[in-house]
Amino acid sequence: MTYATVIALLTDFGLQDGYVGIIKGVIHCINPYLTVIDIAHEIDPQNIAAGRFCLMNAYPFFPNGTVYVAVIDPGVGSRRRGVAIQFPQGYLVGPDNGLFGGVLSLSEAIAAVELTNPNYWRVGDPSSTFHGRDIFASVGAHLASGISLNALGTSISPDSLIKFPLKEVIITANHVHGYIQYIDRFGNLITNILGELVRGHNWSVEIAKLPIKTALTYNEVSREELVSFIGSHGWVEIAVNGGSAQQKLQVNWGDQINIFLG
């Protein structure tokens, strides 16, 4: 068996309070030879949709066999399940609350377990508010060190995993109707409309009843002007050259985007 050497971390813990350092310490205590890479820790608190998006867009750039420990967990301490999931590119460890739905919409789960074996937790009596430290970081480190998925707990059907409810893209002959699925720190609006749906068309975007120019890059429009394009992640994106599209348009997560196809 080839053991993973990479653990990728994604949380909403921020970098102010020491929580991220603590979970890295737990991992290091179990196996100091693992490589730990941070995906993001400044996800808006308890924003499962944002974590879902960031994890979905990050995993293709990591080596096969990576263990992704992701903790955005507003249900910590409740009856929500802690899970570990095997998929073709590696493993996912964290709360079963839809956080892994983006990855699994692109790469199907092979197997999954509920984390019921305390032998691989940090302590047998975990804190009710910090499963990232006491369960998920520890499980991820053991998994990356060669412990089998089945040893971690009770097998569950991948079909039973929680899927985060997202509005669907609607496609007609001349239109694509989608929604804002993510807003980054620059205020760029990333839709759930794949670029492949508009590539090759003469397309234009409308949001909040305002038409927006399409281009290839930010600087093809004047400073402070709105622009739409296919972003590096492959989704249709709306931005402002040198500014925030969210602030300019006063829109938010889930707001509708309309694309007209020429």
If asked whether residues 135 and 204 sit together in one domain, one would say: no
The verdict on 182 and 249 lying in the same domain is yes
What is the per-residue pLDDT for 1? 42
151 and 198 housed in the same domain: no
Position 165 in a domain:
no
- Which structural domain range is residue 244 located in? 170-261
pLDDT of residue 3: 59
- Under 8 Å between Cβ of 7 and 140: yes
- Per the structure block, which two tokens stand in for 186? 């620059």
124/73 same-domain check: yes
What is the predicted pLDDT for the residue at 44? 94
pLDDT in tens, 82-104: 999 999 999 999 999 999 999 99
pLDDT value, residue 188: 97
Amino acid identity for residue 171 in this structure:
I
Check whether residue 152 and residue 177 sit in a common domain: no
**Ordered DSSP codes for the chain:** -PPP-EEEEEES--SSSSHHHHHHHHHHHH-TTSEEEEEES-PPTT-HHHHHHHHHHHGGGS-TTEEEEEE--TTTTSSPPEEEEEETTEEEEEESSSTTHHHHHHS---EEEE---GGGSSSSS--SS-HIIIIIHHHHHHHHTT--GGGGSEEE-GGGS-----PPPEE-SSEEEEEEEEE-TT--EEEEEEGGGTTTS-EEEEETTEEE-B-SSGGGS-TT-EEEEE-TTSEEEEEETTB-HHHHHT--TT-EEEEEE-
Is residue 154 domain-shared with residue 35, that is, in the same domain?
yes
- Where do we find the tokens 């040198």? 242
According to the model, what pLDDT value does residue 78 have?
95
Domain of residue 138, CATH code: 3.40.50.10790
**Region label for 77, one of left (φ > 0), alpha (ψ between -120 and 50) or beta (otherwise):** left
Residue 141 sits in the same domain as residue 187 = no
pLDDT value for 142: 98
Residues 68 and 150 in one domain: yes
Same domain, 144 and 182: no
Q: Are residues 64 and 174 in the same domain?
A: no
The domain tally of the chain equals: 2
In this prediction, the residues of the chain whose per-residue pLDDT falls under 50 are 1
